[in-house]
């Protein structure tokens, strides 16, 4: 095998490797980050919590680029859990958008009015998730 054949092979292999890395990088950058949030409602206040989301929170989310994918209550032991997933461009975007949401005067008013008889939740669990390569949501 001549030096030119080896050099051509090496250049071709490097080109394929480079294209593969670039396409993987672009695929990863198009992925979004998903946030799973679980609200633990104060006993007896799940209806008030879901009403706040339905009547106020969802609209305010949209103003701050917080894209809720869906909301759920468990079929069993559903008396105090509200679960939802939010899609973000990145973790940094999520942090920025949540900060803007928390500072929003309309949100502060809605929260205050909904909690006139006390808090609606005892705690919120958050998990940030990256989609797998075979996930339908990316």
- What DSSP assignment string belongs to 20-61? HHHHHHHHHHH--EEEEEEEEEPTT-HHHHHHHIIIIIHHHH
C-beta of residue 85 within 8 angstroms of C-beta of residue 36: yes
The enclosing H or E element of 70 equals strand 67-72
Q: What is the pLDDT of residue 76?
A: 86
**d(Cα 20, Cα 18) in Å, to the nearest integer?**
5
| Residues of the chain scoring pLDDT < 50 | 1-29
Q: What is the pLDDT of residue 6?
A: 34
C-beta of residue 52 within 8 angstroms of C-beta of residue 17: no
CATH of region 32-129: 3.30.70.100
**d(Cα 45, Cα 121) in Å, to the nearest integer?**
8
- Per-residue b/e over 55-69, b at no fewer than 16 CB within 10 Å? ebbeebbeebbbebe
Q: What is the pLDDT of residue 130?
A: 94
Q: What is the pLDDT of residue 20?
A: 39
Q: How many CB atoms lie within 10 A of CB 91?
A: 12
Q: What is the pLDDT of residue 114?
A: 96
Going from N- to C-terminal start, the domains of the chain cover 1-30, 32-129
């Amino acid at each position: 095998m001549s030096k030119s054949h080896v050099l051509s092979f090496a250049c071709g292999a490097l080109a394929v490797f480079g294209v593969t890395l670039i396409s993987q990088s672009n695929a990863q950058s198009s992925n979004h980050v998903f946030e799973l949030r679980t609200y633990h409602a104060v006993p007896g206040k799940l209806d008030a919590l879901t009403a706040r989301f339905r009547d106020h929170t969802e609209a305010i989310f949209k103003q701050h680029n917080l894209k809720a994918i869906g909301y759920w209550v468990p079929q069993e032991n559903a008396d105090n859990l509200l679960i939802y997933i939010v899609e973000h461009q990145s973790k940094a975007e999520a942090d920025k958008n949540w900060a803007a949401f928390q500072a929003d005067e309309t949100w502060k008013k809605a929260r205050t009015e909904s909690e006139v008889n006390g808090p609606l939740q005892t705690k919120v669990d958050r998990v940030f998730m990256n989609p797998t390569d075979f996930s339908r949501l990316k």
